């Protein structure tokens, strides 16, 4: 287990200290926003949009798109363009590798409020043979997953409900969706401020869900329903390594944020445990942070590391992967601290040598700079 507490370059902390901090965890309100804190101190303005020459020799982050409205997720298409969701406008936009931005359409089912709105996005693994995209949406009465056809020449098709009835609230909506190496769709859900739902395997709240592309439970799911793992507060990042291990990033309450390695059927402790619990009933995280340095949202794997976008922490975390099942991560390293403000999404670009990283400075909790919100192109050899 790694504890990342240093403000600029994290170091592994002493386990005894971590256990003392866990024991001192306060019983504050579980419904607080996950990423509140001081406004982001962003840099003055944005850098130039990347040219082809710059992309070929990228050594520092550069803008690929600017003036977006709270981008929440980024998913690449086979042609190298990316689709981006905007949480509050409920728009999906297409961003070309050279930076051209065009609106694809609006998801009318979205009812943005607080941390909810148009959230996660996933492209069908057999696209374009199966030309479907999936979105996670906070609707009027619940969170739900919708499927739509998409083609560059025809835009979005009519939405079809894949799954509904996921608990919603102003905060703790989860919202990340991704296809795993098994071809199944995974979705992270929040506890919607009702911590007890996370321990109820009959509830969709506070879980990581696993389903077929049609929203059905696979036969090998651990509880005979869509639940894959439980005891989660608000997971917003999902990423798989080359061995098929699933890493999830999770907002804590007041003491610890987490990275967990997800195993089917495991209980990750919330609300009984936040961070390190020392209780064999619960699977412990492999990394913990103080919320002021993290509030982790999106995650991606590239270049031998797990990359984690931090909202309140205003940095990109690089977490080395060791390949060791018993000790899967090295010491986390904090990059670009306070340079770009709040970071929400991170996705591996085609080829694996670059990341696309989205800011979230216009979400009501940051201080937008000129050009915000933006998508950055970031080298993985940072």
Q: CA–CA separation, 314 vs 8, rounded Å?
A: 11
Counting Cβ atoms within 10 Å, is residue 52 exposed (0-12), middle (13-18) or buried (19+)?
exposed
Comparing C-alpha atoms, which of 260, 239, 350 is closest to residue 305?
239
* Domain at 2-379: CATH code: 2.120.10.30
Per the CB < 8 A criterion, the answer to whether 282 and 296 are in contact is no
Tokens for 303?
A: 């270049």
Per the CB < 8 A criterion, the answer to whether 242 and 254 are in contact is no
Q: Which pTM does this prediction carry?
A: 0.89
> 5-35: string of b/e by CB count within 10 Å (b at 16+)?
beeeebeebeeeebeebbeebeeeebeebbb
Q: Peptide bond before 373: cis, by omega within 30 degrees of 0?
A: yes
Counting Cβ atoms within 10 Å, is residue 254 exposed (0-12), middle (13-18) or buried (19+)?
middle
Q: pLDDT of the chain along its 382 residues, tens only?
A: 777 754 333 333 333 333 334 333 333 334 556 666 433 333 333 444 555 555 566 799 999 999 999 999 999 999 999 999 999 999 999 999 999 999 999 999 999 999 999 999 999 999 999 999 999 999 999 999 999 999 999 999 999 999 999 999 999 999 999 999 999 999 999 999 999 999 999 999 999 999 999 999 999 999 999 999 999 999 999 999 999 999 999 999 999 999 999 999 999 999 999 999 999 999 999 999 999 999 999 999 999 999 999 999 999 999 999 999 999 999 999 999 999 999 999 999 999 999 999 999 999 999 999 999 999 999 999 6
Distance of CA 140 to the CA centre of its chain: 22
Q: CA–CA separation, 331 vs 287, rounded Å?
A: 9
Residue 159 has a CB neighbour count (10 Å cut-off) of 18
Residue 260 has a CB neighbour count (10 Å cut-off) of 23
Per the CB < 8 A criterion, the answer to whether 47 and 62 are in contact is yes
pLDDT (0 to 100) of residue 268: 99
Tokens for 148?
A: 């739509």
DSSP symbols for 20-80: HHHHT-----TTS-TT-SSPP---SS--PBPPHHHHHT--S-EEEE-S-S-EEEEEE-TTS
Comparing C-alpha atoms, which of 40, 39, 101 is closest to residue 69?
101
**Residue the block writes with tokens 């321990």:** 199
Q: Peptide bond before 128: cis, by omega within 30 degrees of 0?
A: yes
Q: CA–CA separation, 74 vs 345, rounded Å?
A: 7
Interacting residues of 333 by C-beta distance below 8 A, sequence separation 6+: 9, 10, 317, 318, 319, 320
Cα four-point dihedral sign 273, 278, 279, 280: positive
pLDDT (0 to 100) of residue 1: 73
Interacting residues of 222 by C-beta distance below 8 A, sequence separation 6+: 228, 264, 265
Q: CA–CA separation, 249 vs 298, rounded Å?
A: 7
Q: CA–CA separation, 145 vs 333, rounded Å?
A: 34
Tokens for 288?
A: 């913990």
pLDDT (0 to 100) of residue 340: 98
């Amino acid at each position: 287990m790694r504890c990342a507490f240093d403000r600029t370059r994290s170091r592994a902390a002493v386990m005894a200290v971590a256990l003392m901090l866990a024991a001192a965890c306060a019983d504050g309100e579980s419904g607080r926003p996950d990423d509140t804190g001081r406004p982001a101190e962003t840099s003055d303005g944005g850098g130039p949009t990347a040219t082809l020459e710059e992309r070929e020799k990228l050594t520092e982050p550069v803008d690929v798109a600017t003036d977006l409205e709270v981008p929440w997720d980024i998913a690449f298409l086979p042609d190298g363009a990316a689709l981006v969701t905007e949480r509050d406008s409920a728009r999906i936009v297409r961003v070309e590798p050279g930076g051209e931005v065009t609106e694809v359409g609006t998801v009318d089912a979205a009812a943005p409020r607080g941390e909810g709105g148009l959230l996660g996005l996933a492209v069908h693994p057999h696209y374009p043979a199966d030309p479907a995209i999936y979105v996670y949406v906070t609707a009027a009465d619940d969170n739900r997953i919708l499927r739509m056809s998409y083609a560059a020449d025809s835009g979005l098709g009519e939405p079809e409900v894949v799954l509904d009835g996921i608990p919603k609230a102003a905060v703790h909506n989860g919202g990340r969706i991704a296809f795993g190496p098994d071809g199944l769709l995974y979705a992270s859900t929040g506890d919607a401020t009702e911590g007890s739902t996370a321990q109820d395997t009959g509830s969709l709240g506070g879980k990581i869900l696993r389903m077929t592309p049609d929203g059905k439970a696979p036969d090998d799911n651990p509880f005979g329903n869509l639940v894959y793992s439980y005891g989660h507060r608000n997971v917003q990042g999902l990423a798989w390594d080359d061995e098929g291990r699933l890493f999830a990033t999770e907002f804590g309450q007041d003491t610890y944020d987490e990275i967990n390695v997800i195993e089917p059927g495991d209980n990750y402790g919330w609300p009984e445990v936040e961070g390190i619990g020392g209780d064999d009933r619960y699977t412990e995280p492999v990394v913990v942070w103080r919320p002021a340095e993290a509030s982790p949202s999106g995650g991606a794997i590239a270049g031998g590391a797990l990359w984690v976008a931090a909202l309140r922490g205003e940095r990109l975390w690089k977490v080395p992967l060791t390949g060791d099942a018993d000790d899967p991560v090295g010491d986390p390293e904090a990059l670009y601290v306070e340079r770009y403000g709040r970071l929400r999404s991170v996705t591996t670009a085609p080829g694996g040598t670059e990341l696309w990283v989205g800011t979230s400075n216009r979400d009501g909790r940051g201080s937008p700079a000129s050009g915000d919100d933006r998508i950055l192109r970031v080298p993985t050899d940072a």
